[in-house]
Chains A and B, each alone.
Chain A
């Protein structure tokens, strides 16, 4: 499904927040590399999808009413077998029903457990003065504590993408620190330009969080994605 169709569905349902699956579908449609993530509406579907995308997998509650999935017991990682997927599914459902009794539940999202890379984040928000602004930084605790992030106005040029990656203090980590393989900087640059392009084509998007993105020695992939649409002008 293309991004605009997804946005239409979200709007029709009176929402502005895309589900993780919707967000990733819309981003993938724009050529952005995201972890393969699909919606399972039942336990059986969860098992079937796990088999298709390959173990290990991650299960996350899919509910438009729940934003803090792990706080509700709605996330299970590192599931290696059909048996583990089945019990994880049941555990998630009972935990969520207990903690969020009124929540409307679509099912669970099943996704490939991405191999660990260097965690970075890519975000977009709208500045009242300058409009859409892209943010790049190191992910995990670093971003929260050190605020080691760089900004650029959208649309970005190639120079901007290159410079904003180099601008963060943690850049040496991406270059390969203490024998680690260097990250694929070009792939990160490409990702930034793709997100910039995505916003140019979809100005109704109000907010994006790709957190974390795993950067590898070849390529980079968005592991989690959050996309919010703006409140429609009447």
Chain B
């Protein structure tokens, strides 16, 4: 792999944006602004055949007119001009590029020919490039960003995302943005005419800023290479992949989308298992699983202890866990004794541990379950968001004389909850057992309260459906199992 050139892709010192414009509504309008927004010391050169100035910066008619050296070219001119622009870049000594423009191999025979010509011009000039037909890429570490999704910077983080689709990538990135999840690097691979998903995988595999790799795959171009790379990388950092095309309709759609060869799905399935790639089936699962793999400790077995404050969620969670191959294990007698001492007499006396709406003792119950050697992970289906406003609302009809006391009780309750959240979060590391959280309150983003912020700031998600958390637990168990089988 051309490490130096891939480094340059994520952190170029000087960038030409070819097709940059001040005409609102054109891709080149957003693009120059995306590149400029975190420029730091990076030199930016707009290139536009007609303009003298773009985005308030002196513009050049051709990339060869730029007097300084240019590391990287962002190309967003119409398809018929891309090849000649690439030729100019080669002349200029550009090291690497991204071709945003569409209208290549995804557009039939003529497009395929054009793409071939583009590749040969780039190869002759020693240029490696992303795309064509891509939505962009970024590195949050260097601040270099060709993504025009939003006029804001993405948060720094340790998840590296490689996507063969722009809008799938967009979904994951935007959810991350909303929920405070950061990324190290993102690459929309486009048609992979030159650099392929396998190149990016190899790079992220050795990138110290990336701790988890998330992939959206429609079809691989170098299947064997992927397999061999993933087998090595997955021993060091988890790889989670959403591979589409389980059905023949999906496979056909994928083929026309990025013109990749999508092989037999069953072979993909076997291949992922064999090289330790965690395969998921839904976009939301790709997001959830990547975040959980980043924050949670490695699960040492298959046994889950479920803690709930109500029966229904306990039943649902047990079903969801078992259906995904997890073992809702039997509690040790010591744990039962311990729970008898702190829970009301009518508690469930088994796994799931149902405290039957008893509050104030769930944290203690969790501690006892973490101590149980029959439990490898906890599914905590007991997060209740005691929004202080909600409680104070209940106090409306209370006599003013008693109000102050009631308010104090609510405040005390909330601070106790916050304290127990802090302790629960620190226990994940101490016990080296995953704790997955689910709330019995509906809604995907109950982030307004202080309680939820505590979780979020620590990189821990709260799921709002028992099935979602169970899916994540099953993936954690799968990765743990794979690592154990590697010895």
Contact = CB atoms under 8 A, between A and B. Distances in A.
A127 B223 contact: yes
Interface in B262-303: 263-264, 266-267, 269-271, 273-274
Interface in A123-141: 127-131, 133
B482 to A, nearest CB: 9
A84 interface: no
Interface in A148-184: 150-153, 159-160, 163-164
A78 B264 CA distance: 40
Nearest to A164: B270
Nearest to B486: A159
Contacts of B271: 130, 153
A127 B271 CA distance: 11
B162 interface: no
B247 interface: no
A203 to B, nearest CB: 13
B274 A129 contact: no
A129 B261 contact: yes
Nearest to B270: A151
Contacts of A133: 267, 270
Contacts of A151: 266-267, 269-270
Nearest to A160: B274
A129 B267 contact: yes
A131 B228 CA distance: 12
A127 B227 CA distance: 13
B231 to A, nearest CB: 9
A130 B261 contact: no
A127 B224 CA distance: 10
A233 to B, nearest CB: 18
Given A129-B267, A130-B224, A130-B227, A153 B274 contact: yes
Contact of A130 (B223, B485, B486): B223
Q: Say which size band chain A's interface belongs to.
A: 10 to 19
Interface string B464-481: 000000000000000000
B274 A127 contact: no
A131 B267 CA distance: 10
Contacts of A163: 273
Contacts of A150: 270
A127 B263 contact: yes
A130 B273 contact: no
Contacts of B266: 151
B220 interface: yes
Contacts of A164: 270
B274 A128 contact: no
Most B Cβ at <10 Å: residue of A128, A153, A164: A153
A130 B266 CA distance: 12
Interface residues of B, number: 16
A228 to B, nearest CB: 19
A164 B485 CA distance: 14
Residue among B227, B261, B270, B274 with the most chain A CB within 10 A? Answer: B270
B223 A129 contact: yes
A127 to B, nearest CB: 5
Contacts of A153: 227, 267, 270-271, 274
Contacts of A130: 223-224, 227, 263, 267, 271
B215 to A, nearest CB: 15
Q: Which of A127, A129, A133, A153 lies at the interface centre, i.e. has the most chain B CB atoms within 10 A of its CB?
A: A129
Contacts of B261: 128-129
A130 B230 CA distance: 13
Contacts of B267: 127, 129-130, 133, 151, 153
Nearest to B263: A129
Contacts of A160: 274
Interface in B362-412: none
Nearest to B275: A153
Contacts of B224: 129-131
Nearest to B228: A153
A2 to B, nearest CB: 28
Which one of A130, A133, A163 has the greatest number of beta carbons of chain B within 10 Å? A130
Nearest to A151: B270
Contacts of B220: 129
A11 B419 CA distance: 76
A127 B264 contact: yes
A152 B263 contact: no
Looking at A131, A151, A164, which has the most chain B CB atoms within 10 Å of its CB? Answer: A151
B256 to A, nearest CB: 18
Interface string A28-44: 00000000000000000
B485 A159 contact: yes
A153 B274 CA distance: 8
A129 B485 CA distance: 26
Contacts of B223: 127, 129-131
A128 B224 CA distance: 10
Most buried by B among A127, A128, A160, A164: A127
Contacts of A152: 270, 274
Contacts of B273: 163
Interface in A76-133: 127-131, 133
A160 B224 CA distance: 17
Contacts of B274: 152-153, 160
A234 B263 CA distance: 27
A213 B186 CA distance: 49
Contacts of A159: 485-486
B430 to A, nearest CB: 31
A152 B274 CA distance: 7
9 A-B pairs with least C-beta separation = A129-B223, A151-B270, A129-B263, A130-B223, A159-B485, A127-B267, A152-B270, A131-B224, A153-B271
Interface of A: 127-131, 133, 150-153, 159-160, 163-164
12 contacts: A127-B223, A127-B263, A129-B261, A129-B263, A130-B224, A130-B227, A131-B224, A133-B267, A152-B270, A152-B274, A153-B227, A153-B271
Given A150-B270, A153-B267, A153-B270, 14 more contacts: A127-B223, A127-B263, A127-B267, A128-B261, A128-B263, A129-B223, A129-B263, A130-B227, A130-B271, A131-B224, A133-B267, A151-B269, A153-B271, A164-B270
